[in-house]
Structure 1
């Protein structure tokens, strides 16, 4: 490597560990797999990052939008970043100026690069990139979202909420024992301002410290109540939280925040930061339709959107379009809100369940049911007033977007055109973890 190349200055992309709520949005959406994490931090590999900027807008906290001008040979490694409690200071200007005078390339970034719809796996085979079609802009008619009112870099670090409700919302069954229950938890903020919209989330700060003595970082939970509160007219909101006793690989682990939250009693106090999110928001214009696709506690934002539309319908002051829900779980007993969903009017919402572990029945996932409703979904894909929302485990995302592609192609539509429009017009939103 010649002297000039060695002295080259890059604009290194970094994640602020003080603000990051470890939601996994950035890693899930990165088209070049430049972002990784351990149990403490999320970090960016400078050797892989192409500064495409695709991760910036979806980040709910803004922690991803941080940069440092660095000599290429001194770029922070992922190993260094994993140990950070806060971002390092900028290098002194005179040090960078000296590099520039020596002939270094100090261009800050290439032009943004659109993420490809097809990516290469490590073995060289091609794989569908579902994240390429996820919108980073909200629907044009979405209400203005307030975000980051409370947090490490805000004027007030946290706000204290009071638990005013904690109810189990899954049935007790053979595959849904008491250890794997899901709770509907209502938090009241009293006189402290905490405006939220459907599709936003909050961070809960569990008490105590982790294995290395550091305070627990905040855990993110989607809001399950509409903008005017779980109880209309009160400064409150609700969350849908499942106890975590194993990780995504099936290994035993006790979720710090999920168990803390599920065990709370009415009257207990909780430290909260946020709210977060400015893109996964529902449309507000008349006759707009919403297709909601979720699994498990990914139902939280869908419940919020459904309840807000139900209240608007009851008021008689809003002409809404269609509501369509695809909701998946292993069994009926593990599906949150199963009873209340059954009581919603059929002319208000079109509900489709998918259960993958029902004894004696074939496995059915949300994407399977979507294909069964292909004719209806094809019409909605072509309707500029229809918006699609996907929330749940990361493993569902590719199957769902592929199902939408198959529905489009089965109807004789050009998926490249449809998919690009869904992203460009803020009509397909992906929030998986």
Structure 2
């Protein structure tokens, strides 16, 4: 997995904030949808891209820049040479393991505090590992948590709006702390629900059993609830598995898939086959 410091920040663009909207209720963690516009006609962004945000910081050794990557969360639009893109940002805080003090995340708080008309500096775009298969009969198993839904929202919209002959099965598993935080899959902002009437698309939700106690999100249980269907998909040679979200879900997914396939060895073998065939991709943070 490529570290953010490895990305080239020399190519920079100025992006204007068109709008910033909070998607989650005020009593939950703040996640915002931010629309940007880049006037530079040389900026070309696609569905399977990310871009960086550069935030100027002042430290003990003078001015520096903090670089953070964000996925495209909707279909990019291009008009009169300008490109508009959408991003999801969760306001983050970090606790110092020595002092126990809480500090605001640099990029997330900077972005969540921006308003319409503000300008930010972005870099990229950079390719994401999630490629649309050339075979439109391929099956897609998309697994995400939190703001990991961003690349898959754009991905699913691209498949059903831009690719007219998609016939493969698409299964989206999405985890959030509570039903109120199911981004794009709720009553208020549920544009992914527009595809529920497609014969090939189905989405499954996973939430924490006790969100007020900060219990872990039961994404593994949601997968195992669909064990028979997932086993059938994993048995097919044209199935792709894409994962986006928190790094801590990796071990849970391995355990869930091992249970679905009957043993750890069976899953290790199948996962190795997926990776060898370039049908496994992940973006964890």
Matches within 5 A, 1:271-310: 271-277=121-127, 279-310=129-160
Q: Deviations over 1:25-63 (max 9, x none)?
A: 3xxxxxxxxxxxxxxxxxxxxxxxxxxxxxxxxx27793
Q: Deviations over 1:280-330 (max 9, x none)?
A: 3332431222211111111111111111123136xxx32231221111111
Change (3 A) 1:370 1:378: same
Contact 1:298 1:392 in 2 (8 A): yes
Contact 1:295 1:391 in 2 (8 A): yes
Hey, what's the Cα distance between the residues in 1 that align with 2:202 and 2:120?
A: 36
The alignment status of 1:151 with 2:12, answered yes or no, reads: no
The alignment status of 1:320 with 2:167, answered yes or no, reads: yes
What's the counterpart of residue 109 of structure 1? none
Matches within 5 A, 1:171-186: 171-173=25-27, 176=28, 180-186=29-35
Q: Which of the numbers 160, 164, 177 marks the counterpart of 1:330? A: 177
Q: Deviations over 1:171-199 (max 9, x none)?
A: 233xx0xxx31111111112332223334
Structure 1 length as normaliser, TM-score?
0.57
Hey, what's the Cα distance between the residues in 1 that align with 2:21 and 2:140?
A: 28
What's the counterpart of residue 69 of structure 2? 220
Hey, what's the Cα distance between the residues in 2 that align with 1:273 and 1:342?
A: 28
Hey, what's the Cα distance between the residues in 1 that align with 2:106 and 2:211?
A: 30
Hey, what's the Cα distance between the residues in 2 that align with 1:62 and 1:214?
A: 17
Hey, what's the Cα distance between the residues in 2 that align with 1:429 and 1:367?
A: 18
Change (3 A) 1:248 1:338: farther
* Farther off after superposition, 186-195 or 303-312: 186-195
Structure 2 length as normaliser, TM-score?
0.85
Higher gyration radius (CA): 1
What's the counterpart of residue 396 of structure 1? 249
Contact 1:162 1:269 in 2 (8 A): yes
Hey, what's the Cα distance between the residues in 1 that align with 2:51 and 2:127?
A: 9
Kindly state the Cα deviation for residue 270 of structure 1 after the two structures are TM-superposed.
1.1
Hey, what's the Cα distance between the residues in 2 that align with 1:205 and 1:280?
A: 24
Q: Which of the numbers 50, 54, 57 marks the counterpart of 1:205? A: 54
Where structure 2 has 5 or more consecutive residues not aligned to the other structure, the ranges are none
Contact 2:175 2:206 in 1 (8 A): yes
More strand by share: 2
- 4+ residue runs of structure 1 moved beyond 4 angstroms? 247-251
Change (3 A) 1:409 1:160: same
Q: Which of the numbers 259, 268, 279 marks the counterpart of 2:118? A: 268
Change (3 A) 1:61 1:282: farther
Where structure 1 has 5 or more consecutive residues not aligned to the other structure, the ranges are 1-24, 26-58, 64-147
The alignment status of 1:428 with 2:277, answered yes or no, reads: no
Matches within 5 A, 1:95-244: 151-152=9-10, 157-173=11-27, 176=28, 180-226=29-75, 228-229=76-77, 235-244=83-92
Kindly state the Cα deviation for residue 259 of structure 1 after the two structures are TM-superposed.
1.1
Count of aligned residue pairs for this structure pair = 276
Q: Deviations over 1:54-108 (max 9, x none)?
A: xxxxx27793xxxxxxxxxxxxxxxxxxxxxxxxxxxxxxxxxxxxxxxxxxxxx
Residue 32 of structure 2 aligns to a residue whose secondary structure is strand
Kindly state the Cα deviation for residue 345 of structure 1 after the two structures are TM-superposed.
3.5
Q: Deviations over 1:129-178 (max 9, x none)?
A: xxxxxxxxxxxxxxxxxxx7x723xxxx41111111211111233xx0xx
The alignment status of 1:378 with 2:231, answered yes or no, reads: yes
Kindly state the Cα deviation for residue 230 of structure 1 after the two structures are TM-superposed.
8.8
